[in-house]
Amino acid sequence: MNHQEVYAGIPYEIRKRSQSKRMSLKVSHDGRVWVSVPMRVSLHDARKFVESNIAFVQATLDKVSRERQIKTDKASINEPLVFIVDGEWLPVRLEGGERFRMEVMTESDVPPTAQGSRLLVLTLPQEKTATTEALRASALQYWRFSMINRANEILPQRTLALAESFGESLRRIAVKDQKSLWGSCVKSRKSINLNWRCILFPPPVRDYLIIHELAHLRQANHSPAYWKQVEAWCPGYEAAEEWLKANGKRIMALTA
């Protein structure tokens, strides 16, 4: 005999089973929640049991959601990146994982076919681009400015959201132009610094980098306990580590 219920916005099922010796809560890998109870237990007591354990249910659902998201995004982790080639291509990643080609040209050179295309056309005044070198330098400067702005809009907000989901608080989140580090954490100050180039990572790799630093709020080292914390917050983080090993040096070299 099953009963459908909802508490705190979470749907769940009460399952009365003759073989059940005690009440137990389960959360499946696809997000379904149910409580198995002995036949003698009333629906009222079953509901109270769920309500008293709702924090556990929510935490488990959050973990399941993160695991499913990592599996969903795994293909995007392995997608190739677009890097600067002869000054013509710049890496531009929009939220949602969508990428566009950025074409650099002067205003007078923009073709009519560019309208409505999947190009990000960067136009510069003709008088400021007398030479190819000047055009490239201006384009790189604009690209860097755009990426740093995007990083400041997205990275702190995402870091704060992840910290709150893990029950952590932060006093300071800063986006910096670090030359050799992707991020750093000062546990005593509850402060995290992130390299602006992280904005070029696929979203799951970006989340892993943030979680890597957040885990230092619990463990200020890289001990087995630290990596256990990373695994708890970011299951399957090894895929992101592999992506960073394959692509990190090229992204860090983007100094524009």
What tens digit of pLDDT does each residue of 94-116 get?
A: 444 444 455 555 545 555 554 44
What tokens does 111 get?
């073709």
Tell me the per-residue pLDDT of 197-255, one tens digit each, with 9 for 90 and over.
998 888 899 999 999 999 999 998 999 999 999 999 999 899 999 988 888 888 887 76
| Residue 18 or 83, more confident | 18
What value does the mean pLDDT take over residues 124-129? 53
pLDDT for the residue 80 = 41
pTM of the model: 0.58
Tell me the per-residue pLDDT of 136-188, one tens digit each, with 9 for 90 and over.
666 677 777 878 888 998 999 999 999 999 999 999 999 998 888 999 999 88
| Residue 250 or 12, more confident | 12
For domain 83-252, give the CATH superfamily.
Metalloproteases ("zincins"), catalytic domain (3.30.2010.10)
Q: Are 256 and 141 in contact (CB under 8 A)?
A: yes
Would you kindly state where each structural domain of the chain is located, as residue ranges? Answer: 2-74, 83-252
Instruction: From residue 13, give the alpha-carbon distance in Å to each of 4, 36, 198.
Output: 5, 8, 42
- Residue 31 and residue 87: Cα distance in Å, rounded? 47
